[in-house]
Structure 1
Amino acid sequence: MKEILDILIIGAGPIGLACGLEAKKAGLSYLIVDKGCLVNSLYNYPLNMTFFSTADRLEIGGIPFTSITAKPGRAEALEYYRRVADSQNLNLALFEEVKTVGETAEKVYRVETSKATYFAKHVIIAIGFYDVPNLLNVPGEELPKVRHYYFDPHYYFRQKVLVVGANNSSADVALETWRKGAEVTMVIRESELGRIKYWTKPDLENRIKEGCIRAYFNSHITGIREKEVDIQTPAGKVTIQNDYVMAMTGYQPDFSFLEKIGIQLSEDGRKHPVYNTETQETNLPNVFLAGVICGGLDTHIWFIENSRVHAEQIVKHILAKAEKA
């Protein structure tokens, strides 16, 4: 068996990096593994995205995040976390997907990735939830015109764009594509707009009131075709011409990965992972959860600002156990 790490961290997002910083500070050997680039989820955020949180709430490891505005955007966040990883010389294995995690006879974990095999006394899972979109489950969703991710509005100039959803992402997509020349329609299941940034919501409300952006409330899509979309509204079925469907319906954690390695999930339909809220340890000994993954399907419970403490809790518990041994 080759070198046994104290901690192997799965996920190089902000919370995974925070765990690496805490491990390094404690003098523990560690490695952070991610199937994508550094802070891969943030990299895939929309080009013009602005955070809800202020810069100080996005800081990790006590390293200051200086922003030219109160609420930083995607580019500033990428720069910050890149500089944190670089300045602290964090041990990273990027573009390396974890395939299996299993305990060996020596009571350490064998972690198989797409590129290597590692052994670790402890494993921290900080994989977030941005990789698995919530599907519409309607005919035609498999068409290339249906997008669950959005990057830049320029692409949709003079296109007929249908935006599904009522929250932040939907509002940003609707407003940005409309301002870049798209013909925008929104389909919203509820009777009103949802959780939207306070500086965006009035803008969208006014655009809908003016008729610049058409919105169907209490409605849902029933079918998608190459050039049309069927919408069930309170007044009956409506068919509209359409080039792109932007399904901003949210995302969920990779529950299949958690189940594959043996982490228990709640049976209440919300799929909350089972873990100790004081130590973050799961039903698997020495396997911990950190960050938004802890919320299961309730992805609006944990954010960078309130889950960065998970790193401290986990490392503190590991050190306390080592002292008792």
Structure 2
Amino acid sequence: MSSKVVYVVIIIVVALVAGFVLKRAIFAESFDWPTSGQKSLEKVSVADGETEEIMITGGYRHSVLLEEIVGGGPEKDGIPSIDDPKFVDVREAEDYLDDTEPGISLTIGDTTRFYPFQILVWHEIVNDTIDGKRVMVTFCPLCLTGVVFDPIVSGERVEFGTSGKLWNSNLVMYDRKTDSLWSQVLGEAIAGEKTGTKLGIIPWDQMKFGIWKQKYPNGEVLSRDTGATKFYGIDPYGDYYTNDKLLYSRVNNRDDRLIEKDNILGIVINGKPKAYLVDAVRAAGGVEDDFSGEKIFLEYDKELDAIRIFRNNKDGEKERINPIPSFWFSWVAIYPNTELYK
């Protein structure tokens, strides 16, 4: 291939990637939500026997103000979820993954899989089945939030897709059963029939591929064979993760206790939120904390470069808590009264 052809290809790729991000930044429009009709409040049952008050506007159920849910640029399913994921072994994955590539490590039964961010950034949702168990792997590049959910809705396993909408700059998913809208950072339906319903979270770890393959040499890695034509290995968000700019400034709250894109781990215990600055936990080598009436343990595994959070259960034994990893701005936009360890 001549140097001129290579140059043209590079220009086309850069233009397409830039266009993707520009579209996200420009088309953050609001939607024609129902504004007329009777307005009321309703209490619904949520996890652990608790109740939550939701709003009903013109017969449409929602737990957040509808005008806060905005368009993110792409249309519904414009960022295509991976619904029939394929996997390769470590040796084949080394052809397209450097050791420094981050991703989500998930173990179900005897199977461990690695979902690279370089693929997730183009799809945001993977509907997968591991050892007969349905899982939903999610990633929001705008908030740097990766979460694995148990996609059970009202006792039924449901498939999810990207809605094309954002709430506080965070991924809004939709379920393909009722078309309800779900906040990734809350793990909860925020609009539609299932408003107030919560998803269970499945334990996972975020780590780099080089570390992961040493620990799980027989593990499986998400393949680039996704059925979509994407520029895997090129991040459409460029230096967004390290610069001081937000693509979407429409967030409910801002807080200067940390830099907006500092990495935190967020938890909610007995209804109270707290964020832990990742760098501070690493520097301390681990943290023991008394929070919301419970003993919280943050354990830093230096070998894996991963932080896991535990609390004591009723029997006095440690049980794992699944935190929400996020940029600070995303967490504090939703939990303005959050406590903070830094």
Q: Same fold (TM over 0.5)?
A: no
Q: Which has the higher contact order (CA 8 A, sep 6+)?
A: 1
Structure 2-normalised TM-score? 0.23
More helix by share: 1
Structure 1-normalised TM-score? 0.23
